[in-house]
Amino acid sequence: MNTRPELLFPLFANLTSLDGVGPKIAQNFEGLRVTKPLDVLMVLPQSGIDRRVIDTIQGAEFPSVVTVKVTVKSHRAAATKAGAYRVTVEDAATSFQLVFFHARGDYLKKQLPIGEERIVSGKIEVFDAIAQMVHPDHMVLLQNLSDIPEFEPVYPLTAGVTQKVMFKATRSALDLVPQIGEWADPSLVKKRDWPSWIKALKLAHSPLTLGDVSPNALARQRLAYDEFFAHQVTLALARSVGKRSAGRVTQGNGAYRSKVLAALPYTPTGAQMRAMDDIAADLEAPHKMNRLLQGDVGAGKTLVAFMALLIAVEAGGQGVLMAPTEILARQHIEGLQPLGDAAGVVIELLTGRDKGKERKAKLDALASGNIHILIGTHAVFQKDVAFHDLRLAIIDEQHRFGVNQRMLLGEKGTNVDVLVMTATPIPRSLALTQYGDMDVSILDEKPPGRLPIATAVVSTERLGEIVHKLRTAIAEGKQAYWVCPLVEESEVLDYASAEDRFKSLRAALGEGVVDLVHGQMPSADKDAAMARFQRGESKVLVATTVIEVGVNVPAATIMVIERAEIFGLAQLHQLRGRVGRGSEKSTCVLLYQPPLSKTGKRRLELMRETEDGFLISETDLQMRGAGDLIGTAQSGLPRFRIADMETQANLMEIAQSDARALLVSDPALTSERGKAVRVLLWLMEQEKSIRLISVG
């Protein structure tokens, strides 16, 4: 079944096949990302209006929408061209006016003959002490009351698409939905008391109360689950195809690893040991490894990565560790060189700076197997970089490297195993969404000896005090980061720019003491400034967020973050993690500009209370939403139409375990439920995953 099943054709037909949708309106619908009947069904009501008939408007709250039976009493034409045409009507207890602008009197007299009864529904307000309904939404004969829904769904709209058009189009699209088999686990459906997919759609589009519009309504839960489930089946298929793709058995004898463990001044944490075991088991297995190593700031990922690379070397192969920037690559080699020496393993660095003879010598040593472990930047991807026997590729900071680059790196050897490391604690639901095709190891313990970081929340009104304290700290030989939100003065925003802050601190603290790095500087200047700070020649580094990822200067013990209230929680946490890396007590100062908003206050208070990155990231997700958290544009997150990752995260976990269990019992999706899942994949437009089934 590698073509779309025929029973779904009507849902993928032209929008003009729906009632009330002509070519012009079909074009307008594109503003809602709607191009076919199926899309219309995915736009659910966002609220609703109660249109149950009441006897009288007397005692009703104004302004509000009412539906009431009236008798037409009189008509009064507009006195001027721009004036209002008024029709006085009477309900069971009082009278009020229906008001029309630019009205044709003859038309209204026909619609509302004097002495006759009608049902009117619309917003009633008081103007000049007279109750009036301007342009009623509905005016119907008594026998046509059923034309007015008791609870009318209110849809999100776009220019040229009205509520009436939306209502008609959704009813018409619902008529096209075919009978489809059940793809969800029957026991789950029963336990949750969920309706079938079709019934859930009908209920979601015909809410009876406001409760039916909330994400917690059973119909909404069901529809959200189906979206998550289709996504997780796709990831699980990708994972099982990956699991079936041949890997190499890489088994070490422990010779190098035991030397490194003996040379360490501390014992690895339980979390580190578990991750090392997971990775060793993956390397030994006959299929490709696809694992994510997730650790909070300072949880000791580098050691785990190095131990994995040593397994490749013990097995007679090579390993490569890729970093997103040259600074990080150099930092890795500085940290690992002593351990490499202890084990007797050759580690080398390859970056874009390597040129000519030096570069050729490195490439020759790599190709002959004399370099065991290569640490590098994007330079490693170049065509002339050839390994003797590459077994393991480790990629640091996932989001900088796309899937394509992971594959390119994998082509540098035969069936290379891949390990991805990230220092960004990702909330569980997002990790499942973004990395659902990978196995995940989490480092959630801090290595011994890491001192807690004292965090202070201070108003910018006390800036002078902070600079004074900084002067004292520098006199004691300490180093500090000072992070600013923007580079150049913007007329609209009053954020202190890095350039200005650099000048004012240099004036206050002296020439040569303060250095500057920001994203718009040439790389060489940036690296030089970072290097001076790392060597301790400069004492204060003023920076934009370029220092967020991985810079390691153990001597730096102070972090000042200016306008902290405009940063995301995860970013603040990453920045704070740049200090507290040595044996000295460290401080982080969050400078905010008063007055603080409620969420701004909550964010900064949370930073003061905890250093747990996972707790911080969960809160960030609730407060900001998934798109903001990883930057929607480049996040690679799927855009769910109905499901909401913030409020329905628990459903994502259920969907993942359900999808993985299904593929274990029915890998080719040939059972009755499997066939229904294929239909779901077509429905949710996961054509890529349909191809994966055929691969399987």
pLDDT tens track for 283-315: 998 888 878 888 876 778 888 999 999 999 999
Going by pLDDT thresholds of 50, 70 and 90, the confidence category of residue 171 is: very high
> Quick one: pLDDT at residue 225?
94
Residue 69 pLDDT more than 60? yes
> Quick one: pLDDT at residue 294?
84
Residue whose C-alpha is closest to residue 70's, from 79, 85, 58, 78: 58
Going by pLDDT thresholds of 50, 70 and 90, the confidence category of residue 163 is: confident
Q: Which residue has the higher pLDDT, 220 or 20?
A: 220
pLDDT tens track for 134-150: 999 899 998 888 888 88
What's the number of CA atoms in the CB half-sphere (13 Å) around residue 542?
25
CATH class name, domain 255-443: alpha beta
DSSP 266: S
Q: What is the mean pLDDT of residues 368-382?
A: 87
Q: Which residue has the higher pLDDT, 460 or 581?
A: 460
pLDDT tens track for 458-502: 999 999 999 999 999 998 889 999 988 764 555 444 445 778 888
Going by pLDDT thresholds of 50, 70 and 90, the confidence category of residue 628 is: very low
> Quick one: pLDDT at residue 636?
45
Cα(523)–Cα(25) distance, integer angstroms: 51
Maximum mean pLDDT: which of 70-79, 394-403, 422-431, 628-637: 70-79
Percent of the chain with pLDDT over 70: 88
Residue 645 pLDDT more than 80? no
Cα(476)–Cα(293) distance, integer angstroms: 38
Residue 644 pLDDT more than 50? yes
Cα(282)–Cα(418) distance, integer angstroms: 10
Would you call 93 helix, strand, or coil by DSSP? coil
Q: Integer distance in angstroms from the first to the last C-alpha of the chain?
A: 13
Q: 185: which residues sit within 8 A by CB, 6+ positions away?
A: 658, 661, 662
The architecture (CATH level 2) of 52-148 comes to: Beta Barrel (2.40)
Cα(166)–Cα(177) distance, integer angstroms: 17
Cα(441)–Cα(276) distance, integer angstroms: 9
Would you call 536 helix, strand, or coil by DSSP? coil
Cα(495)–Cα(658) distance, integer angstroms: 48
Alpha helices in 73-182 (DSSP H): 105-111, 163-174
> Quick one: pLDDT at residue 310?
94
Residue 218 pLDDT more than 60? yes
Q: What is the mean pLDDT of residues 569-579?
A: 82
> Quick one: pLDDT at residue 178?
92
> Quick one: pLDDT at residue 372?
94
| Type of residue at 127 | F
> Quick one: pLDDT at residue 431?
66
Q: What is the mean pLDDT of residues 614-626?
A: 66
Residue 238 pLDDT more than 50? yes
Domain boundaries, the chain: 52-148, 255-443, 453-610
Q: Which residue has the higher pLDDT, 2 or 497?
A: 497
Q: What is the largest CA-CA distance in the chain?
A: 103
What's the number of CA atoms in the CB half-sphere (13 Å) around residue 275?
29
Per-residue H/E/C for 629-656: HHCHHHHCCCCCCCCCCCCCHHHHHHHH
* Protein fold of 453-610: Rossmann fold (3.40.50)
pLDDT tens track for 598-612: 888 888 988 888 877
| Type of residue at 118 | R
Angle at 679 between CA 673 and CA 681, to 5 degrees: 105
Cα(666)–Cα(680) distance, integer angstroms: 16
List b or e across 463-493, with b for residues whose CB sees 16 or more CB atoms inside 10 angstroms. Answer: beebeebbbebbeeebbbbbbbbbbeeeeee
Per-residue H/E/C for 374-437: EEECHHHHCCCCCCCCEEEEEEECHHHCCHHHHHHHHCCCCCCEEEEEECCCCCHHHHHHHCCC
Cα(86)–Cα(132) distance, integer angstroms: 9
Q: Which residue has the higher pLDDT, 275 or 237?
A: 275
Residue 408 pLDDT more than 80? no
> Quick one: pLDDT at residue 492?
44
Would you call 41 helix, strand, or coil by DSSP? helix
Which value, to the nearest 10 degrees, does the dihedral of the CA atoms of residues 382, 383, 389, 392 take?
40
Residue 522 pLDDT more than 90? no
Residue whose C-alpha is closest to residue 304's, from 182, 444, 189: 444
Going by pLDDT thresholds of 50, 70 and 90, the confidence category of residue 3 is: confident
Going by pLDDT thresholds of 50, 70 and 90, the confidence category of residue 202 is: very high
Q: What is the mean pLDDT of residues 435-443?
A: 75
Q: What is the mean pLDDT of residues 199-209?
A: 92
Cα(540)–Cα(533) distance, integer angstroms: 8
Residue whose C-alpha is closest to residue 33's, from 43, 19, 46: 43
What are the tokens at 333? Answer: 């080699």
What's the number of CA atoms in the CB half-sphere (13 Å) around residue 666?
16
> Quick one: pLDDT at residue 83?
84
Average pLDDT of the residues of the chain: 83
Q: Confirm whether 255-443 and 453-610 share one CATH topology.
A: yes
| Type of residue at 60 | A
pLDDT tens track for 241-258: 766 666 788 888 888 899
Maximum mean pLDDT: which of 172-176, 214-218, 419-423, 435-439: 172-176
Q: Token pair 């009493």 is at which residue?
A: 73
Q: 107: which residues sit within 8 A by CB, 6+ positions away?
A: none
